A and B are shown apart, each in its own frame.
Chain A
Amino acid sequence: MKNIINGIFKENPTFVLMLGMCPALAITTKFENAYLLGICLLGVLLISNAIISIIKKIIPDNVRIPICILIIATSVTVVEMLLSKYVPAVYDVLGIYLPLITVNCIVLGRALDVASEKPVLSTITDSIGIGLGFTLALMLIAFIREVLGTNMITIMDSVSELTRYKAVYQILPKSNLLPISILAEPAGAFLVLGILMGIFKSFQKVGEKHESN
């Protein structure tokens, strides 16, 4: 449990470790895209890190990186093939960002730092924590960007064929201030990410002060 909470708050990949920034900025235009990518990354992280942790003793140090990338690429391809066959709507929504999980720094970073050193159970809990931390961070960024940038929130739209439930809402009342269209554009992603990072850091400092007292 400690590992999971650690991954969400103390070592949040987006706000603290600052890893995997490309999808965090690019895919957070819609709330739906954010949680779908987060879930996919969580799956890949779990599969690849568990395998790496199991075989860590037979991997020689000088080929550790190529072997980690091989295992990550294989698990991404398996997830991609399964999605394209069974959930094509999710496959279409994520597009290029799904195969790009292979080169995501979070997955490789955790594979080299945690999975190559710690036991399997600890690796699995760490992967769940980091995956949840990434998913929640993406959801938070996407929520702010979509609500303020388009005055809508897309909880289920592309996957509505699968779930048979469509959920696209207007949250705030119409006004002269909304929507702030820059937030829906790439520049808005940097703004929102920077502000959230600042808030996260200040909360962390307050927490550290409390701990030291």
Chain B
Amino acid sequence: MNKKVKSVLVLTLVALVCSVILYFVAEAVK
């Protein structure tokens, strides 16, 4: 896989996981 595409994919994946974690924590402390 192209190196740049892989970088963007990993960055997007990490951002998605972080968003999901934040969503669940925010729901838990609401």
> A residues engaging B (CB < 8 A)?
55, 58-60, 62-63, 66-67, 70-71, 73-74, 77-78, 81-82, 84-86
Contacts and interface: CB of A to CB of B under 8 A. Distances in A.
B29 A81 contact: yes
B29 A71 contact: no
Interface of B: 3-4, 6-8, 10-11, 14-15, 18, 21-22, 25-26, 29
21 contacts: A58-B10, A59-B10, A60-B3, A60-B10, A62-B3, A63-B7, A63-B8, A63-B11, A66-B11, A67-B10, A67-B14, A70-B11, A70-B15, A71-B18, A73-B18, A74-B21, A74-B22, A77-B22, A78-B25, A81-B25, A85-B29
A62 B18 contact: no
Contacts of B8: 63
Interface of A is mostly: helix
A4 to B, nearest CB: 28
Main secondary structure on B side of the interface with A: helix
Contact of A70 (B6, B14, B25): B14
Given A70-B14, A71-B14, A62 B22 contact: no
A73 B15 CA distance: 11
A81 B22 CA distance: 9
Nearest to A78: B25
A30 B25 CA distance: 31
Contacts of B10: 58-60, 63, 67
B30 to A, nearest CB: 9
Nearest to A79: B25
Nearest to A58: B10
